[in-house]
Structure 1
Amino acid sequence: MKTNYDVFFEESMKDENLKREYDKLEPKYEIIRQIIRLRKESGLSQEELSRLTGISRVKIKRYEGGTASPSMKNLNKIARACGKKLTVNFI
């Protein structure tokens, strides 16, 4: 069943200008989704991830909320803390 948001989103994406701007932000949102997924799959709270990486909890919260963008250095710290290896792909 579609939510009100799903319907709103689908209708919004019919606007070519809005879709173009949304698409520009997709890489940022993908990084946010990956950070959250990785942290949760590792069973870590933001506080625990902070302790393991040396990145402040506030900064991790900002990364996950999209109000700050992580450096490659910090993305690598997050990956290693979760037992993963950071890779970058261009497709």
Structure 2
Amino acid sequence: MTNSNTIKFSDYLENEKRNDPALTKMMEKEEQKLDYAVAVMELRTSLGFTQEEFAKAVNKPQSTIARIENGNANPTIKTLEQIADSVGKQLTFSFV
């Protein structure tokens, strides 16, 4: 049985974002870091590398790769380009 006063978290969050531009901006930055995390993890796994193997291949510390993949790092475009170049890939991005 659902209480009529119950609100979904997603609805609550959307309402808060509408009322707080700073929250919206912060959430967009976090989403961007997670997009980087997923992209780097997908690249690494598509190459069949462990984090340690991938770190060696891209000449970065394993801890850097781990921080990127778990969303705790906001890598620069330069870092992402270096990663892509190291494994023969090209970094692309778009404005949405």
TM-score by length of 2: 0.68
Measure, in 2, the Cα distance between the counterparts of 1:16 and 1:63.
Answer: 28
Q: Identity of paired residues, percent?
A: 31
Match of 1:73 among 67, 72, 78: 78
Aligned AA (1:41): S
State how many pairs are aligned.
84
Aligned-pair CA distance for 1:88: 2.4
Is the aligned partner of 1:40 residue 2:48?
Answer: no
* Structure of larger gyration radius: 2
TM-score by length of 1: 0.71
> Any gaps of 5 or more consecutive residues in structure 1?
1-6
Measure, in 2, the Cα distance between the counterparts of 1:23 and 1:67.
Answer: 14
> Any gaps of 5 or more consecutive residues in structure 2?
1-7
The 8 Å contact of residues 39 and 45 in structure 1, kept in 2 or not, is answered as yes
Is the aligned partner of 1:16 residue 2:16?
Answer: yes
The 8 Å contact of residues 84 and 91 in structure 2, kept in 1 or not, is answered as yes
Over 6 Å off, 4+ runs: none
